[in-house]
Amino acid sequence: MKKVLFATTALVATAGVAAADVTFGGYGRFGIYYSENAGADGVAGTADDFVGAFDSSTDVTSRFRLQIDATAESDAGVVVGARVRIQQNEGETGMTNGARFFARSGGFEVGVGNIFGALDSMPGQYPIDLDLGLTGLGYDYTAYQFNGDFYSSGGLGNSGDNGVEVMYSAGDLSVHVSASDTDDRVAGYVAYTWSGWTFAVGAQDSDNAGDTEWTATAGGSFGIADVTLAYADNGTNGDRTVLTGRFDVGAATDMEVYVADQEGGADTGYGVDFNHDLGGGVSLRGGVAKRINGNTVADAGVRFNF
């Protein structure tokens, strides 16, 4: 009986692989994180991408993220699929997030569930390749400050709030519209790339007075440096303006810097980091930032992509 069950399971598994494409990827990181005032930094907009407050000023920080993408393609060429992540941060129990489902044909895609969110996906909102240093150091350089829908790596996201989004791209033009029952949000952006520069503008309607109302970004290269200027009207949370830059300092090393100012903020935020590529998806990373809330944070460690 066990042999029959094993053979049946193997047949089903083989059929599934033949009919669909399943890929695995992600990253791991580990190092140290310093906070001048460990109680100053609570969850800043997105809990799954924030190191958080520690009991002492210097601690070990780590994360393991495994992303699973599964797709199947119909005879008509429509790709249907889903994405989930398994993630564990230092001191936390690993968990699977809410799934994002989608259907894609050519440059047109519809997604539901744990959606990406239009403002979070807008070019220029993450100008420093998602993370300053090893951990992101608070993400002060993200202009819209998570005052809208975003893909949650460690929670359900909008998978329980009727999250839906439509994306379209054609050549240098891209459009993204998203909506959810979270504060009855409806958001969208239009972006266009011209002569190596990408310009984007986004807007949102929401019942939350602290949500982003509109935002604009512009990014490109000035020869030795890639720069991005971003602005967001974040309602009662205050306007935020961010200027970022990235430049090479060696064949395998680059540095990134930012300056951020927010209406009503305790201080002007700024930060700098380094990324040194060791090859094979392994890199040394570290950075230091003076947060808009007045707290100074720093980190250093190793990241490996797989």
pLDDT (tens digit per residue) in 10-55: 333 444 444 579 999 999 999 999 999 876 664 333 334 444 444 4
Contact 252, 276 (CB under 8 A): yes
**In angstroms, how far is CA 47 from the centroid of its own chain?**
12
Query: In angstroms, rounded to a whole number, what is the distance separating the alpha carbons of residues 166 and 94?
Result: 30
pLDDT at 300: 98
Q: What would you measure as the largest C-alpha separation in the chain, in angstroms?
A: 70
Query: In angstroms, rounded to a whole number, what is the distance separating the alpha carbons of residues 137 and 90?
Result: 15
- Region 83-89: mean pLDDT is 96
How many CB atoms within 10 Å of residue 180?
A: 23
pLDDT band at 93 (very low <50, low <70, confident <90, very high): confident
pLDDT higher for 19 or 174?
A: 174
Say what percent of the chain tops pLDDT 90.
Answer: 80
pLDDT higher for 64 or 1?
A: 64
Contact 176, 166 (CB under 8 A): yes
SS (H, E, C) 184-228: HEEEEEEEEEECCEEEEEEEEECCCCCCCCEEEEEEEECCCEEEE
CATH topology of domain 25-305: Porin (2.40.160)
pLDDT at 39: 67
How many CB atoms within 10 Å of residue 209?
A: 10
Q: What is the pLDDT of residues 266-299, one digit of tens each?
A: 889 999 999 999 999 999 999 999 999 999 999 9
pTM, entire model: 0.87
Given a cut of 90, whether residue 92 has pLDDT beyond it is no
Weakest-pLDDT range from 47-51, 79-83, 164-168, 217-221: 47-51
Q: Mean pLDDT across the chain, nearest whole number?
A: 89
- Region 80-105: mean pLDDT is 94
Domain ranges of the chain: 25-305
